[in-house]
Amino acid sequence: MGFEGIGAAVRRREDLRFISGRGNYTDDINRPGQLHAVIIRSPHAHARIKGIDAAAAKAAPGVVAVFVGEDMAADNLGGLPCGWQVKNKDGSPMAEPPHPVLAVGKVRHVGDPVAVVIAESKGAARDAAELVSVDYEVLPAAPTLEAAQKPGAPLVHDGVAGNICYDWHLGDKDAVDAAFAKAHKVGRLELVNNRLIPNAMEPRAAVGEFDPASGDYTLYTTSQNPHVIRLLMGAFVLHIPEHKLRVVAPDVGGGFGSKIYHYAEEAIVTWAAGKVKRPVKWTAERTESFMSDAHGRDHITVAEMAMDKDGKFLALRVHTQANMGAYLSTFAPCVPTYLYATLLAGVYTTPAIYAEVKAVFTNSVPVDAYRGAGRPEASFLLERLVDICALEMGLDRVEIRRRNFIPASAFPYQTPVALQYDSGDYNATLEACLKAADWAGFEARRAEAKKRGKLRGIGISTYIEACGIAPSAVVGSLGARAGLYEVANIRVNPTGSITVFTGTHSHGQGHETTFAQLIADQFGVPMSQVEIVHGDTAKIPFGMGTYGSRSIAVGGSAMVKAAEKIIAKGKRIAAHLLEASADDIEFKDGKFQVAGTDRAKALAEVSLAAYVPHNYPIEELEPGLEETAFYDPKNFTYPGGCHICEVEIDPDTGVVQVVNFCAVDDVGRVINPMIVEGQIQGGVAQGIGQALLETCVYDENGQLLSGSMMDYTMPRADDLPNIKVGTAITLCTHNPLGVKGCGEVGAIGSPPAVIGAVVDALKDYGVRHLDMPATPHKLWQIINANRPRMAAE
Amino acid sequence: MPKVSLTVNGKPASAEVENRTLLVELLREHLRLTGTHVGCDTSQCGACVVHVNGASVKACTMLAVQCEGAEVVTIEGLAAPDGTLHPMQEAFREYHALQCGFCTPGMVMSAIDLVQRNPQGLSDREIREGLEGNLCRCTGYHNIVRAIAAAQQVMHGKVKELPRAAE
C-alpha cells in the first residue's frame, strides 16, 4: 500500500497534541464539583496501628471527609486481588494474604496507605492531613530478601511461615543432576538482579465520579488496561457490576508495567466519590510514586552450567529468591516464574534445565512486572553465566555462543522449559551486530584507549524473550485468573471512513499511528480515513490492555480478524450491487471487484449501501458494516537478537562512559520502523540505567533511601550514548501479520551487554562478574584495591 | 488572597492565589493551561519548564506571586496564531523525539532556551549536557538530541526548512 502502509516510517499522528500542550492526561481532567484527596501513608515499614485520631482534620477548613480502613471494611469491600496463582512444588497454592485498600490493624511497608483526607482543594487536604494523628506501635521490619529469610525474622503476614509466598520449580531435576555428574567443566555464578523503581514521567492519578441519578460510577485513571481495572475493582473490591462502572484511561504518560496493576488509590477515589456524592481526584506526588508504584526485579540467584569438553551446554541449574514486597501486586507471582524460568534456555540448545524459585514477602513496596518482567532477569543471568562459561573453557565469548545456538533449521524448537519457539535466526542477528559494532576491530580501540589512560571493554548479549502475551488456555493452566486475548471492533462508517476500537492501550507506543497504518493497509484506504480509539470501557467492547509487548501481536491480529469479517460481508454486499456471485468478488486496493473484469464498487459505495439498504440483500444480510473480533494467540512470540556495548572507564574516578551501543533485533515484521527504533532505544536506555545507575535501596529499618529523583539515579541525556538500532527479521509463524513485538527487547537484551563490557574493561583487575549497577563508587573501589598489585606486575 | 496579574502567551491574565501557590499551579489549576506538567516534587524532572521573561524556569520552583507583571510563555503559546509550529515543535515530531508526551512540553521549552542562549550552535554532546535538567523515561534521548540539533539550524537561520529525518 505504498507510503502509509506497513513498513513506512509515518510520522506519528498523536504528536500534534503532545507538542502543543493539548494532551489529555488524567491530572488534566477536572470534573464539576471536584474534591481533592490526599492519602496518609505509613512512615514505618512495619507497625501496628493502635489508633487514628482524625477529629481535628475533620474539623479543618474545607475538609469534607476523612476515611480509614475500618470505614471501607464497614462497607464490606474486598481487598486488592491478585491475578495469578502460582503453586508450590507439592502442588499446594501459594500464600495469598489479604491486601486491604486502606490498612487495617497493621502497616507493612513505608507508603502503605492508612487514611484519606478529602477536601475542597488540594491545599486544604494537605493541611488537614497534617492534623491526622496515627498512633503506631513500631515493629521490627524485614525489608530485604536476606532479612526476611533469617531465622526468627519478623513475619510480614501472621500465618505466612518464614515469609514464603511460594516455593516453585520447573524442569527435570534428575536429568540435570545426571548431566552435572558427567560434566567436563561447570560455570558458576551468584548474582543479584537489582531492584528498580519504574518512574514513568507521569505520576499516577485517579478521578472517581458517581452519578446519584443513574447509580453509575466513572473512574479516570493512569492505566495501561482500563478493562482489567474495571474487572478487578468492580468485581473484587467495590462490588460494582460492569454495566455501572466506566473506566477511562486517557493519555497516559508512560507505564513500563507500573500502570498495569489495580492500585488502592483507584478504589479509594471511586468509593469515596460514592460516599460524598462528588467527584474525587487524587494525583501522586513523586515521593508517593516511589513508595507506592510497584517496583521491579529484585532477585538473588545462584546458577550453574554444566559443559562438555567442547563447551557445549549440557545442563543448567538455577536457584532464585524473588522479592514480592509486602503484598501481592496484580501479576507479581507470575513474573519470577512463568515469565522468567521458562526463558532459561535462552537461544541455546541446553538439553536439561532445572529452576527453583522461592518468592518471599518483605516489608517493602510490592514488586511486579517492570519493562521486560522476568525476562531481563533471565537474560541477565544466562548471558552473564555464558560469559563465565567462556572464561572457564578458555573460549571466546562469541565462539561459545555460536557453538550452543539453536540453529535456524531447528524451528519450531521445543525447549526443556515448556516454551516452543516458532522462528528465529540467532546467527543472523549476531553477525549483523558484530559487523555494526566492529567487534573485530575492538582490540585496536582498547589499545588506543589505554594510551589515553582509559580502560576500554566490550560486552555482548544474545538473548531471547517471550511476548505477545498470551494463549489463554496455556496461561490458565499455569494459574492466570484471566484470559489474555485481545479485542478489536472495526466500524466502517456510512461514507467509508473507518473507526477502530481496540482493547489495547497506548501510553507512548504510538498505536494511533501504527494501527492506522495497519488498517489503511488492510482496506487500501488513506490513513486520514482511519481513527483509532482506545482507553475507554464505555466505547470499546472489551480488552486486556497493553503490556508484555502484546499490542501488535495480539491486538493487531484481532484487527486483521475483524477486517477479514468486514471484507467477507463487503463481498456479499458488492456481489449484490454488481449482480455477481460473492465467490467471484476480489477485494483489492480499496475496491470490491468482479474477478477478471473492471466492474467494481469502492469500499465507500459498499458501506453506503450497508447503511442505506435500498438496493441490498436484506433477506440474507443485516444492514451495517461493523465487526468485532476476539483474537486468542496460539503461542507466545519470540523476539530475540544481539546487543553489543562498548565502554570506557576512567580509572581515576570509576566513571563508566558507554562509547558505543549497537542492537540488532528480530522483532518480526515491522509496521513503522521509526516507532520500532524508538521503542528499542528507549528500552536500551532503561537497560543501561539498570546496569550503571539505578537501584532501589532500603535501610535495615525498611526506610526507602532512594525515595526521590535526587536519590534514585534516573538516566539523563548526558549519561547515555547514541543507540544504534538495526533489525534482522524472521516472521512469526502463528499470527496473521508475522509480528513479534518490540516494546521490551531493549530492556531485556542490554544489561548483560553493558556489564559484560565493564567486566571486560576490568579483566586485568581480576573481575569475573559485577552486580548492577556498576557505579563509579563500586568500580573505583575495585580499581583502587587492585592498584598496588597492578603496579607490582 | 493576593491577586497576581501577568501576561501568559501574549494575553493578560490574573488570578487570586494563596501565597504558597506555585507558578505551575497557577498555570494548570487557575488558568487551565494543562500543557505544563508536574513530574516530580524535587525540581529534578523539568516537565514543568516554561519561559518567564524569556528565560526557561522550572515552574515548580517559582511562586505565582513572584510572577507579578511577568511575561510567561507556555507550550500552548509557542505556535503562531495560524497554527504554524515553532521549529522545535516541528523537529520533535519529525525526529520522533517523543513517545508518551509527558516530558515533551518541558523538554521543548528547555530546548528552545538552550538553543537561543547558544547562537554559536551546539554539538550533540553540548545538547546532552544542556538537557541535564530534563528527564525523559521513554526515548533514551537519542531522538531528542537529533531533533534539537536539527531545530537549531532553523532557529539560527542556517537553513530555511527543517532538515527531514532519514527514512
Q: Residue ranges of the alpha helices (H) in A182-260? A: 226-231
Residues A788, A782: Cα–Cα separation, whole Å: 12
Structural contact between residues B151 and B115, judged by C-beta atoms closer than 8 angstroms? yes
Q: Do B41 and A285 touch (CB under 8 A)?
A: yes
Q: Do B42 and A201 touch (CB under 8 A)?
A: no
Distance from CA of B18 to the nearest CA of A (A): 9
**Burial class of A592 by CB neighbour count within 10 A (0 to 12, 13 to 18, 19+):** buried
- Domain boundary at B77, B96, B114, which? B77
Residues B101 and B137 in one domain: yes
Return the pLDDT at A131: 98
Averaged pLDDT for residues A497-521: 97
Structural contact between residues A213 and A503, judged by C-beta atoms closer than 8 angstroms? no
Residues B63 and B113 in one domain: no
Residues A160, A95: Cα–Cα separation, whole Å: 7
**What does R_g of chain A's alpha carbons equal in angstroms?**
28
CA distances to A338, A406, A465, A771, B128 from A317, rounded to whole Å, are: 16, 19, 19, 20, 43
Residues A202, A29: Cα–Cα separation, whole Å: 14
- What cell numbers appear for A613 in the block? 439498504
A106-107 β-sheet, strand order: A106-107, A47-53, A133-138
Beta pairing partners, A356: A169, A319
Residues B73, A702: Cα–Cα separation, whole Å: 43
The class of domain A31-139+201-254+259-292 in CATH terms is: alpha beta
Q: Does A123 touch chain B (CB under 8 A)?
A: yes
Residues B98 and B47 in one domain: no
Averaged pLDDT for residues A225-241: 97
Residues A45, A605: Cα–Cα separation, whole Å: 66
**Burial class of A182 by CB neighbour count within 10 A (0 to 12, 13 to 18, 19+):** exposed
Residues B60 and B94 in one domain: no
Inside any domain, residue B29: yes
Q: Do A14 and B36 touch (CB under 8 A)?
A: no
Residues B71 and B136 in one domain: no
State the pLDDT confidence band at A4, using cuts at 50, 70 and 90: confident
Residues A452, A669: Cα–Cα separation, whole Å: 44
Q: Do B34 and A27 touch (CB under 8 A)?
A: yes
Residues A585, A600: Cα–Cα separation, whole Å: 9
- What cell numbers appear for A120 in the block? 475542597
Strands B71-73 and B3-8: parallel
The class of domain A2-16+485-631 in CATH terms is: alpha beta
Inside any domain, residue B103: yes
Placement of cell 531447528 in the chain: A410
- Domain boundary at B77, B101, B125, which? B77
Mutate to test the interface with A, among B16, B32, B137 (most CBs of A within 10 A): B137
Structural contact between residues A648 and A458, judged by C-beta atoms closer than 8 angstroms? no
Rounded to an integer, what is the distance from CA A290 to the centroid of its chain?
17
Q: In this complex, which of A14, A673, A682 lies closest to B138 when CB atoms are compared?
A: A682
Tens-digit pLDDT profile for residues A280-298 = 999 999 999 999 999 999 9
Inside any domain, residue B165: no
Inside any domain, residue B160: no
Residue of A nearest to B37 (CA): A202
Return the pLDDT at A670: 97
Q: In this complex, which of B89, B132, B165 lies closest to A716 when CB atoms are compared?
A: B132
- What cell numbers appear for A28 in the block? 488534566
CA distances to A154, A184, A384, A635, B74 from A346, rounded to whole Å, are: 37, 21, 12, 17, 49
HSE-up of residue B89 (Cα within 13 Å, Cβ side):
20
Handedness of CA B76, B77, B81, B83 (dihedral sign): negative
Neighbours of A483 (CB within 10 A): 16
Residues B11 and B67 in one domain: yes
Phi, psi for A759 (deg, rounded to 5): -60, -40
**What does R_g of chain B's alpha carbons equal in angstroms?**
16
Return the pLDDT at A118: 98
- Cβ contacts of A708 on chain B, cutoff 8 Å: 40-42, 44
What is the CATH T-level fold of the domain A419-467+636-793, as seen in this structure? Aldehyde Oxidoreductase; domain 4 (3.30.365)
Mutate to test the interface with A, among B76, B114, B141, B144 (most CBs of A within 10 A): B141
Question: DSSP states of A464-524 as a string?
Answer: E--BS---HHHHHHTTBSS---EEEEEEE-TTS-EEEEESS--SSS-HHHHHHHHHHHHHT
Q: Does A125 touch chain B (CB under 8 A)?
A: no
- Cβ contacts of A684 on chain B, cutoff 8 Å: 140
Structural contact between residues B6 and B73, judged by C-beta atoms closer than 8 angstroms? no
Mutate to test the interface with B, among A4, A12, A20 (most CBs of B within 10 A): A20
Residues A499, A607: Cα–Cα separation, whole Å: 13
- What cell numbers appear for A29 in the block? 481532567
Residue of B nearest to A8 (CA): B167
ipTM: 0.98
Tens-digit pLDDT profile for residues A552-568 = 999 999 999 999 999 99
Residues A224, A293: Cα–Cα separation, whole Å: 13
| Rounded percentage of chain A residues whose pLDDT exceeds 90 | 98
Structural contact between residues A481 and A85, judged by C-beta atoms closer than 8 angstroms? yes
- The terminus-to-terminus CA distance of chain B in angstroms comes to 55
Q: Do B140 and A287 touch (CB under 8 A)?
A: no
Query: CATH 3.90.1170.50 in chain A, residues?
Result: 31-139+201-254+259-292
Which of left, alpha, beta for B122 (phi over 0: left; psi -120 to 50: alpha)? beta
Side chain identity at A233, as an amino acid letter? M
Distance from CA of B35 to the nearest CA of A (A): 4
DSSP annotation of A732 reads -
Residues A472, A349: Cα–Cα separation, whole Å: 27
| Rounded percentage of chain A residues whose pLDDT exceeds 70 | 99
Average predicted confidence (pLDDT) for chain A: 97
DSSP annotation of A653 reads T
- What cell numbers appear for A19 in the block? 507538542
Q: In this complex, which of B20, B33, B44 lies closest to A709 when CB atoms are compared?
A: B44
What is the CATH T-level fold of the domain A149-197+294-405, as seen in this structure? Aldehyde Oxidoreductase; domain 4 (3.30.365)
Residues B68 and B99 in one domain: no
Closest listed residue to residue A640, CA positions, set A749, A549, A553: A749
Residues B55 and B98 in one domain: no
Return the pLDDT at A788: 60
DSSP 3-state of A305: strand
Mutate to test the interface with A, among B42, B95, B102 (most CBs of A within 10 A): B102
Q: In this complex, which of A285, A509, A714 lies closest to B135 when CB atoms are compared?
A: A714
Residues A737, A722: Cα–Cα separation, whole Å: 31
- Cβ contacts of B72 on chain A, cutoff 8 Å: none
Residues A668, A396: Cα–Cα separation, whole Å: 29
Tens-digit pLDDT profile for residues B66-98 = 999 999 999 999 999 999 999 999 999 999 999
Inside any domain, residue B163: no
Mutate to test the interface with A, among B110, B126, B142, B148 (most CBs of A within 10 A): B142
Distance from CA of B158 to the nearest CA of A (A): 23
CATH assignment at residue B22: 3.10.20.30
Q: Count up the domains in chain B and report the number.
A: 2
- Cβ contacts of A723 on chain B, cutoff 8 Å: 140, 142
Inside any domain, residue B72: yes
Q: Does A14 touch chain B (CB under 8 A)?
A: yes
Q: Do B32 and A256 touch (CB under 8 A)?
A: no
Q: Do A510 and B99 touch (CB under 8 A)?
A: yes
Tens-digit pLDDT profile for residues A564-585 = 999 999 999 999 999 999 999 9
Return the pLDDT at A3: 73
| Rounded to 5°, angle at Cα A678 from A468 and B78 | 130
Residue A2, pLDDT above cutoff 50: no
- Cβ contacts of B101 on chain A, cutoff 8 Å: 14-15, 17-19, 23, 251, 253, 508
DSSP annotation of A4 reads G
Return the pLDDT at B166: 79
- Cβ contacts of A16 on chain B, cutoff 8 Å: 93
Side chain identity at B80, as an amino acid letter? A
Distance from CA of A331 to the nearest CA of B (A): 23
A179 Cβ partners below 8 Å, 6+ apart?
Answer: A306, A314, A315, A351, A352
DSSP 3-state of A533: strand
HSE-up of residue A219 (Cα within 13 Å, Cβ side):
35
Interface of A with B in 698-717 (CB under 8 A): 708-710, 714-717
Residues B12 and B71 in one domain: yes
Residues A713, A718: Cα–Cα separation, whole Å: 13
Strands A498-502 and A486-492: antiparallel
Task: State the residue range of the domain holding B68.
Answer: 3-77
Residue of B nearest to A744 (CA): B138
Tens-digit pLDDT profile for residues A621-645 = 999 999 999 999 999 999 999 999 9
CATH assignment at residue B122: 1.10.150.120
- Domain boundary at B55, B77, B99, which? B77
Residues A450, A430: Cα–Cα separation, whole Å: 27
Distance from CA of B8 to the nearest CA of A (A): 14
HSE-up of residue A755 (Cα within 13 Å, Cβ side):
31
Neighbours of A382 (CB within 10 A): 28
Q: Does A252 touch chain B (CB under 8 A)?
A: yes
Residues A606, A284: Cα–Cα separation, whole Å: 50
State the pLDDT confidence band at A1, using cuts at 50, 70 and 90: very low
A241-255: buried (b, 16+ CB within 10 Å) or exposed (e) per residue? eeeebbbbbbbbbbb
Inside any domain, residue B161: no
Averaged pLDDT for residues A192-196: 98
CA distances to A611, B50, B91, B93, B117 from B155, rounded to whole Å, are: 51, 18, 11, 16, 11
Q: Do B141 and A717 touch (CB under 8 A)?
A: yes
Tens-digit pLDDT profile for residues A360-402 = 999 999 999 999 999 999 999 999 999 999 999 999 999 999 9
- What cell numbers appear for A270 in the block? 471511586
- Cβ contacts of A12 on chain B, cutoff 8 Å: 93, 96
Residues B40 and B66 in one domain: yes
Residue A688, pLDDT above cutoff 60: yes
Residues B71 and B17 in one domain: yes
Q: Do A708 and B44 touch (CB under 8 A)?
A: yes
